[in-house]
Amino acid sequence: MQQQEVLAEVISDLVKINNDRVEGYQQAIDATDDIDLKALFQRMIDDSRRYASQLYDELVALGEQRHFGTTAAGKLYRAWMEVKTVFTGHDRHAILSFCEYGEDAAQSAYSAALKVNVTMPYRIRELIADQQKALRNDHDIIKTYRDMQKVVY
């Protein structure tokens, strides 16, 4: 596979991860009645849409035009989350735990993208690193919210 094809595949995977994030947080919004969580999750949806758009722009600059959905793993995870929510109700801790798991998956995908053995233009590497840093911050916020629930109960 040529370098540009590998790079396009790496970027495409990150677009899908962000699409997974949008779907996952939309599901989390639907699973809670808590206004603070709804606002937080909506911000994360907006961020992921922006990240996906930025990544897609880089694909277009590479001459790639693809249509994107979500990953198979993301779909399975959301289905599991839906089933689990039925049994746990709208429990904050459970919802936040699911969200943290999704954030862990995003971090793994971004780390893998930065480790791929491919020539990557600086602007793309910087974009991916900046997005990963912002996503790490989101992960920490979700983890803090989740941990606070342990203390409350």
pLDDT at 91: 85
Region of 26 (left: φ > 0; alpha: ψ -120 to 50; beta: rest) is alpha
pLDDT by residue for the chain (153 residues), tens digit each? 588 889 999 999 999 999 999 999 999 999 899 999 999 999 999 999 999 999 999 998 988 876 666 555 555 444 545 545 544 556 898 899 989 999 999 999 999 999 998 999 999 999 999 999 999 999 999 999 999 986 554
Domain made up of 3-152: CATH architecture = Up-down Bundle (1.20)
pLDDT at 87: 47
Domain chopping of the chain, boundaries: 3-152
Backbone angles phi, psi at 91, to 5 degrees: -70, 120
- Close Cβ partners of 103 (under 8 Å, ≥ 6 residues apart): 135, 138, 139, 142, 143
pLDDT at 38: 97
pLDDT at 70: 54
- Close Cβ partners of 105 (under 8 Å, ≥ 6 residues apart): 17, 20, 73, 74, 77
